């Protein structure tokens, strides 16, 4: 049987298979029919109405493309802009890539399983598009590549598949955002991402989500990092969403490979977030770190983390801190799994409210109680992320600054 | 001026300050002595306005205003500041930002930090992993930026290394307008007249007396202010005979 047919067969068998964790989404309630949108040139991008531009900027997409090394922009089911001016960096819509570049087949559904659940199955059977971003061997992305998956049509189901490849000795920085138009209330986003970090390559992937209140979101991501490679994965979500569930997995498959996950979540009332990170340390010298900061304003947040040490001489740390500001739930589930002697694995988790002592201390310096609280919250969300380029740091700071208004 | 009248304070169910009367006039610095657990820190925290210290009777008046029921921030805005013994860590807030917050207006934090040999710590989170002596310098740096009129120091020299002790001493003196600069540029009487800053300093060792010419010494014993005298005299007496003896002796004389 042809490889495509095999994938489709497997997907068909999984089309009603519920996800391993998280509330089930009835995909039949959403519309995955193609929504035509015309391609936008640079000047069209800049002509996007201010309100929408603001939504895009919050998801990291700068329509002026200043200080961006490439752009992928998908609206609903259509790619409306795709451009990669930087030498050594390729940005290609995945349908086009599958059609024209055989090498993409070596990566497509090679890490993620097409029959993992109904969401992976939907992404295969009803693929709309997605991006392939690749840095060629030895190349360095000066500016980050921006990718935006935008939802405009109410009630839509968007199925996306992304492949990110950092070839040997290359350096690739990506900022990717998901956002919804101001009038969209309800929809579902299914996003498959497969990451390949090759020998001595460095990939930073910063994802900013700005959903609408009734959005269901089911990303499915798997990464592998070869010898000496570094995968830095940042995730920021400060806006309401009905239900978001993801549990990205990374395999460190060469010695001295490193993976670091940093997540910053602010949970609003009526929202449910079930997030995690799982990293397999399979070779000596592997390092892994999962750091999560969560704030609940009344939303439910489950913060999972799972580190698996399979060989000696690995080091892994899991850190989860949560603040309950206004009711809601924070459930930290840290898991450490050591299979041999000689692993160094640790975790720390702390969930609570803001220490009164800290508020009083800042008040003694003349800050009002509200100023003190907001200063502490901003500090809490201000995670030092080693190796993050300044532009991306600025994007994260901006998201935090913006959310501050909502949090308070 | 700070006026404390017949102040009684409870922490939880325990009465920790009993009938405290204290006046600190503009330009005056008092040293507060007393054994561990006698209520010294509680007195400072009560003046600063920490709500867990419940005032059951008496009043605190600052600059003519009754501040007995004012929250901490309003006291700070009126000009009260404190150097804490064990301040909390504020994760994610850089010392540099903290200095700016203390100053309210833009301030050159590098120049201020130089005064307490703290430039290397400006980009560290406030109090995160600081040693005892580093905390003291960080607290002084914040007070330098805040520039309050009444300064409460809780053991400002404890844990400070030999190299920095004179720096800390001199900085406190200059905060209280009792520094060498004030003394050198003006005739002594005028310097004294111009002085407006007030200080209340807790010390066990008395090191601070080498740098700050204190006006009065107070001994707090079992929640009561038991004597007022020359700070050097109190220090000598306590050193020789201990607090119990010292309080008895001086009370008898009084």
pLDDT tens column, A117-146: 999 999 999 999 999 999 999 999 888 999
Measured CA angle at A326 (ends A265, B54), to 5 deg = 130
> 3-state secondary structure string, chain A?
CCHHHHHHHHHHHCCCCCCCCCCCCCHHHCECCCCCCCCCCHHHHHCCCHHHHHHHHHCCCCCCCCCCCEEEEEECCEEEEEECCCCCEEEEEHHHHHHHCHHHHHCCCCCCCCCCCHHHHHHHHCCCECEEEEECCCCECCCCEEEEEEECCCCEEEEEEEEEEECCCCEEEEEEEEEECCCCCEEEEEEEEEEEECCCCEEEEEEEEECCCEEEEEEEEEEEECCCCEEEEEEEECCCCCEEEECCEEEECCCCCEEEEEEEEEECCCCEEEECCEEEECCCCCEEEEEEEEEECCCEEEEEEEEEECCCCEEEEEEEEEEECCCCEEEEEEEEEECCCCEEEEEEEEEECCCHHHHHHHHCCCCCHHHHHHHHHHHHHCCCCCCCCHHHHHHHHHHHHHHHHHHC
Distance between CA A314 and CA A327 in Å, rounded?
38
Model pLDDT for residues A370-396, shown as the tens digit of each residue: 999 999 998 998 887 777 777 777 777
Q: Which residues of A touch B83 (CB under 8 A)?
A: none
Are the beta carbons of A366 and B98 separated by less than 8 Å?
A: no
Rounded Cα distance, B16 and B44, in Å? 12
pLDDT at B181: 59
A20 and A140, same domain (yes or no):
yes
Question: What integer pLDDT is reported at residue B69 of this predicted model?
Answer: 95
Q: Determine the structural domain holding residue A399 and report its residue range.
A: 355-408
Q: List Cα–Cα distances, B65 to A25, A28, A127, B4, B54, in angstroms.
A: 63, 69, 72, 12, 19
Is the domain of A329 the same as that of A361?
no
Reported as a pLDDT band with limits 50, 70 and 90, residue A51 is: confident
* A367 and chain B in contact, CB less than 8 A: yes
Do A74 and A137 fall into the same domain? yes
Mutate to test the interface with B, among A359, A360, A407 (most CBs of B within 10 A): A360
A407 and A293 in a common domain? no
**In this predicted model, which residue has the larger pLDDT, B71 or B193?**
B71
3-state secondary structure of B119: helix
| Buried-state track B81-91, b at ≥16 Cβ within 10 A, e below 16 | bbbbbebbbbb
The domain total for chain A is 2
Of A354, A373, A397, the one marking the end of a domain is A354
* Share above pLDDT 70 across residues of chain B, in percent, rounded to a whole number: 95
CA proximity to A159, closest of A120, A114, A109, A116: A120
Vertex A71: Cα angle to A66 and A75 (nearest 5)? 120
pLDDT single digits (tens) A289-338: 999 999 998 999 999 999 999 999 999 999 999 999 888 999 999 999 99
Residue listed under structure tokens 């050198």? B184
Are both A32 and A144 inside the same structural domain?
yes
Residues A37 and A74 in one domain: yes
Residues of B in contact with A364 (CB under 8 A): 48-49, 72-73, 75-76, 81-82, 84
State how far residue B114 is from chain A, nearest Cα, in angstroms.
20
* CB contacts, 8 Å: B73 with chain A: 363-364, 366-369, 372
Are residues A242 and A370 part of one domain? no
Nearest to B50 among A360, A362, A367 (CB): A360
A164 pLDDT more than 60: yes
Contact between B88 and A382 using a beta-carbon 8 Å cutoff: no
In this complex, the residue of A369, A375, A383 whose CB is nearest that of residue B73 is: A369
pLDDT score of B184: 61
Which position has the higher pLDDT, B5 or A42?
A: B5
Query: Distance, in angstroms, between B5 CA and closest chain A CA?
Result: 22
Per DSSP, the three-state class of B114 is: helix
pLDDT given at position B195: 86
Q: Return the axis-axis angle of helices A390-407 and A369-381, rounded to nearest 10°.
A: 140
Between B228 and A33, whose confidence is greater? Answer: A33
Given CB atoms, is A393 within the 8 Å cutoff of chain B? no
B8-42 confidence digits (pLDDT tens): 999 999 999 999 999 999 999 999 999 999 999 99
pLDDT score of A403 more than 70: no
Which pLDDT tens digit goes with each residue over A210-239?
Answer: 888 899 999 999 999 999 999 999 999 988
SS3 B228: strand
Q: Does A125 touch chain B (CB under 8 A)?
A: no
What residues pair up with B8 in beta bridges, in sequence order?
B57
- The closest of B157, B153, B145 to B96, measured between CA atoms, is B145
A182 and A164 in a common domain: yes
In this structure, are A341 and A371 located in the same domain? Answer: no
What is the model's pLDDT at position A1?
A: 63
For residue A393, list chain B residues with Cβ-Cβ distance below 8 A.
none
Instruction: Give residue A394's pLDDT.
Output: 79
Among A15-19, A68-72, B163-167, the range with the most confident prediction by mean pLDDT is A15-19
For residue B238, what pLDDT is reported?
Answer: 86
Q: Please tell me the predicted confidence (pLDDT) of residue A397.
A: 80
- Give the number of other CB atoms < 10 A from CB of residue A335: 13
Q: How high is the pLDDT of residue B88? A: 97
Q: Residue B155: helix, strand or coil by DSSP?
A: coil
Q: Is the pTM of this model over 0.90?
A: no
Q: Which residues pair with B57 in a beta bridge?
A: B8
In this prediction, residues B232-251 reach a mean pLDDT of: 80
A358 touches chain B (CB under 8 A): yes
Report the distance separating Cα B188 and Cα B186, nearest Å: 6
| Cα separation, B190 vs B174, whole angstroms | 16
Provide the number of CB pairs (under 8 Å) joining chain A to chain B.
Answer: 64
| pLDDT confidence band for A115 (50 / 70 / 90) | very high
Instruction: For domain B2-253, give its CATH number from 3.40.50.620, 3.30.460.10, 3.40.50.300, 3.90.1150.10.
Output: 3.40.50.300
Instruction: Read off the pLDDT of residues B138-170 as tens digits, 9 standing for 90 and up.
Output: 999 999 999 999 999 999 988 888 888 889 999
Q: Are A396 and A238 in contact (CB under 8 A)?
A: no
pLDDT of residue A179: 87
Residue B33 β-bridge partners: B219
Which residues of B are less than 8 Å from A365 in CB distance? 76, 81, 98, 101-102, 142, 146
Q: Which residues in chain A are closer than 8 Å to B49, comparing Cβ atoms?
A: 364
- Asked which of A189-193, A391-395, A400-404, B227-231 is least confident by mean pLDDT, the reply is A400-404
Are residue A233 and residue A184 in the same domain, yes or no? Answer: yes
User: Nearest C-alpha of chain A: how many angstroms from B148?
Assistant: 9
ipTM associated with this complex: 0.95
Chain A within 8 Å of B181 (Cβ-Cβ)? no
Tell whether A86 and A193 lie within a shared domain: yes
A227 touches chain B (CB under 8 A): no
- The residue ranking higher by pLDDT, B231 or A56, is B231
pLDDT of res. B185? 66
A335 and A404 co-located in one domain: no
pLDDT of residue B96: 95
Å between A290 CA and nearest CA of chain B:
17
User: CB–CB of A263/A289 below 8 Å?
Assistant: no
Mutation target among B46, B74, B82, B88 for the A interface, most CBs of A within 10 A: B88
Which residues in chain A are closer than 8 Å to B90, comparing Cβ atoms?
Answer: 358, 361-362, 375-376, 379
Chain B residues touching residue A407 (CB < 8 angstroms): none
Is there a contact between B146 and A366 if contact means CB atoms under 8 Å apart? yes
Per-residue confidence band for B183, with pLDDT thresholds at 50, 70 and 90? low
DSSP conformation letters of B80-92: EEEE-SSPPPEEE
- Please give the angle made by the CA atoms of A233, A383 and A354, to the nearest 5 degrees: 130
pLDDT at A165: 98
- Pairwise CB contact (< 8 Å): A363 & B87: no
Q: Considering CB atoms only, which of B51, B90, B104 is closest to A358?
A: B90
Which of B91, B127, B146 should we substitute to test contact with A (largest number of A Cβ atoms within 10 Å)? B91
């Amino acid at each position: 049987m042809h490889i495509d047919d095999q994938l489709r067969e497997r997907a068909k068998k999984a089309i009603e298979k519920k996800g391993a964790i998280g509330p089930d989404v009835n995909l039949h309630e959403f519309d995955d029919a193609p929504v035509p949108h015309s391609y936008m040139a640079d000047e069209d991008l800049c002509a996007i109405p201010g309100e929408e531009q603001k939504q895009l900027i919050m998801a990291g997409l700068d329509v002026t493309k200043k200080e961006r090394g490439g752009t992928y922009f998908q609206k609903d089911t259509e790619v409306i802009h795709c451009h990669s001016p930087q030498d050594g960096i390729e940005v290609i819509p995945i349908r086009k890539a599958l059609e024209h570049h055989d090498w993409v087949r070596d990566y497509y559904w090679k890490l993620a399983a097409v029959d993992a659940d109904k969401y992976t199955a939907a992404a295969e059977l009803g693929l709309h598009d997605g991006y392939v971003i690749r840095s060629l061997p030895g190349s360095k992305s000066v500016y980050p590549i921006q990718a935006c998956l935008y939802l405009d049509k109410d009630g839509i189901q968007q199925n996306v598949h992304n492949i990110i490849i950092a070839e040997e000795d290359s350096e690739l920085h990506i900022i990717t955002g998901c956002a919804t138009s101001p009038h969209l209330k309800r929809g579902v986003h299914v996003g498959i991402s497969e990451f390949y970090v090759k020998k001595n390559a460095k990939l930073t992937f910063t994802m900013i989500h700005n959903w609408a209140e009734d959005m269901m979101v089911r990303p499915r991501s798997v990464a592998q990092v070869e010898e000496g490679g570094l995968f830095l994965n940042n995730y920021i979500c400060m806006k309401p969403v009905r239900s978001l569930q993801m549990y990205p997995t990374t395999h460190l498959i060469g010695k001295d490979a490193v993976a670091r996950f940093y997540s910053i979540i602010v949970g609003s009332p009526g929202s449910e977030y079930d997030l995690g990170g799982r990293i397999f340390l399979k070779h000596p010298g592997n390092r892994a770190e999962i750091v999560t900061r969560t704030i609940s304003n009344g939303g439910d947040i489950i913060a999972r983390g799972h580190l698996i040490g399979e060989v000696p001489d690995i080091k892994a740390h899991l850190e989860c801190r949560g603040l309950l500001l206004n009711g809601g739930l924070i459930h930290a589930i840290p898991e450490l799994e050591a299979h041999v002697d000689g692993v160094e694995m640790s975790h720390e988790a702390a969930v609570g409210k803001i220490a009164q002592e800290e508020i009083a201390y800042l008040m003694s310096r003349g800050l009002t109680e509200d100023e003190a609280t907001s200063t502490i919250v901003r500090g809490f969300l201000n995670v030092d992320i080693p190796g993050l380029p300044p532009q991306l740091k600025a994007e994260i700071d901006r998201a935090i600054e913006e959310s501050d208004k909502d949090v308070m | 001026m700070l006026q404390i009248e017949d102040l009684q304070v409870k922490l939880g169910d325990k009465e920790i300050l009993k009938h405290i009367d204290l006046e600190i006039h503009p330009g005056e610095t008092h040293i507060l002595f007393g054994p561990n657990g006698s209520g010294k820190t509680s007195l400072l925290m009560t003046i600063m306005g920490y709500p867990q210290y419940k005032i059951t009777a008496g009043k605190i008046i600052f600059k003519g205003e009754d501040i007995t029921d004012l929250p901490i921030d309003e006291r700070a805005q009126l000009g009260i500041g404190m150097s804490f013994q064990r301040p909390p860590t504020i994760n994610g807030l850089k010392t540099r930002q903290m200095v700016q917050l203390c100053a309210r207006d833009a301030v050159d934090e590098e120049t201020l930090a130089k005064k307490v040999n703290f430039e290397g710590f400006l980009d560290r989170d406030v109090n995160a992993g600081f040693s005892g002596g580093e905390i003291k310098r960080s607290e002084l740096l914040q007070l330098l930026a805040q520039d309050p009129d009444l300064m409460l120091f809780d053991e400002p020299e404890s844990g400070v290394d030999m190299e920095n002790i004179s720096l800390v001493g001199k900085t406190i003196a200059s905060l209280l307008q009792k520094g060498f600069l004030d003394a050198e540029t003006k005739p002594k009487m005028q310097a004294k007249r111009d002085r407006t800053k007030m200080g209340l300093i807790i010390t066990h060792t008395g090191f601070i007396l080498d740098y700050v010419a204190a006006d009065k010494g107070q001994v707090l014993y079992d929640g009561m202010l038991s004597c007022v005298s020359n700070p050097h005299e109190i220090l000598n007496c306590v050193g020789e005979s201990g607090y119990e003896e010292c309080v008895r002796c001086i009370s008898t004389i009084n």
